[in-house]
Chains A and B, each alone.
Chain A
Amino acid sequence: GEDVEQSLFLSVREGDSSVINCTYTDSSSTYLYWYKQEPGAGLQLLTYIFSNMDMKQDQRLTVLLNKKDKHLSLRIADTQTGDSAIYFCALRDGGYNKLIFGAGTRLAVHP
């Protein structure tokens, strides 16, 4: 089955850029997503990219997709303390109505 890998922790200084990485195994995924989870809350969709795109930018967020290497990244520019959260990479599973999630990357932003 599909496997989605993320590093578990990332620590950045306030104002710097954060880059959260994700690798996956199934090349048939048509949509790839980034979700944010704040403490005690559900998941919030941040952005998504269609598999025929290489890059998508949305304000401070930039998503890069390298289909050859099966690598997805989320760059957050000018990282703020409010960006501290867990970030999940997720893929639409080929022909099925379900999302496959990575384990999540905990982003800590320090002054």
Chain B
Amino acid sequence: NAGVTQTPKFQVLKTGQSMTLQCAQDMNHEYMSWYRQDPGMGLRLIHYSVGAGITDQGEVPNGYNVSRSTTEDFPLRLLSAAPSQTSVYFCASSLTGGGNQPQHFGDGTRLSIL
């Protein structure tokens, strides 16, 4: 099993560009989520999905879109990149959204916006 796979691992964008961060899991997990990690602030939830076709906003959704057309994939789209979106992005999945289900994290995408 590959677990949670994120691509790319690193990306540099110019302000105003758009891009999609990819996340795929091969564990047949229903629940998937995106977090951003900034120094001194821990991880903050951007968007999450409890199953294919269902998405919802987290704490910091502005400037990001998601979709969940399949169980395996949960891409995160930056519509018009801004320097404030420079961060490390983590995708996570779990079997369900239940509290006793551990979340499995990908290795992250390090994104810099110039």
Residues of A within 8 A of B (CB): 1, 4, 8, 30-31, 33, 40-45, 48, 50, 88, 90, 92, 97-99, 101-104
Chain B residues bordering chain A, tally (CB within 8 A): 27
User: Which secondary structure characterizes the binding site on chain A?
Assistant: strand
Are B100 and A101 touching (Cβ within 8 A)?
Answer: no
Are A45 and B103 touching (Cβ within 8 A)?
Answer: yes
Question: B residues within 8 A CB of A41?
Answer: 107-108
A43-B90, A43-B105 known; A31 vs B100 contact (CB < 8 Å): yes
Are B105 and A42 touching (Cβ within 8 A)?
Answer: yes
Sorted nearest first, the 5 A-B pairs with minimum C-beta distance are A42-B105, A31-B99, A97-B97, A101-B42, A101-B43
Are B40 and A103 touching (Cβ within 8 A)?
Answer: yes
Question: A residues within 8 A CB of B90?
Answer: 42-43
Are B31 and A97 touching (Cβ within 8 A)?
Answer: yes
Are B58 and A98 touching (Cβ within 8 A)?
Answer: yes
Are A48 and B43 touching (Cβ within 8 A)?
Answer: no
A101 to B92, CA, bound (A): 14
A31-B100, A42-B90, A43-B90 known; A99 vs B45 contact (CB < 8 Å): yes
Contact with A along B24-62 (1 / 0, CB 8 A): 000000010101000011111100101000001011000
Question: How many Å from the CB of A43 to the closest CB on chain B?
Answer: 4
Question: How many Å from the CB of A91 to the closest CB on chain B?
Answer: 10
A30 to B104, CA, bound (A): 19
Are B103 and A99 touching (Cβ within 8 A)?
Answer: yes
Residue B102 lies at the interface, judged by CB distance under 8 Å to chain A: yes
A45 to B102, CA, bound (A): 7
Are B42 and A88 touching (Cβ within 8 A)?
Answer: yes
Q: Which of A1, A30, A97, A103 contacts B42 (CB 8 A)?
A: A103
A82 to B90, CA, bound (A): 23
Question: A residues within 8 A CB of B100?
Answer: 31, 48, 50
Q: Which of A44, A98, A103 contacts B105 (CB 8 A)?
A: A44
A42 to B106, CA, bound (A): 5
A75 to B86, CA, bound (A): 34
B56-112 residues with Cβ-Cβ distance < 8 A to A are 56, 58-59, 90, 92, 97, 99-100, 102-108
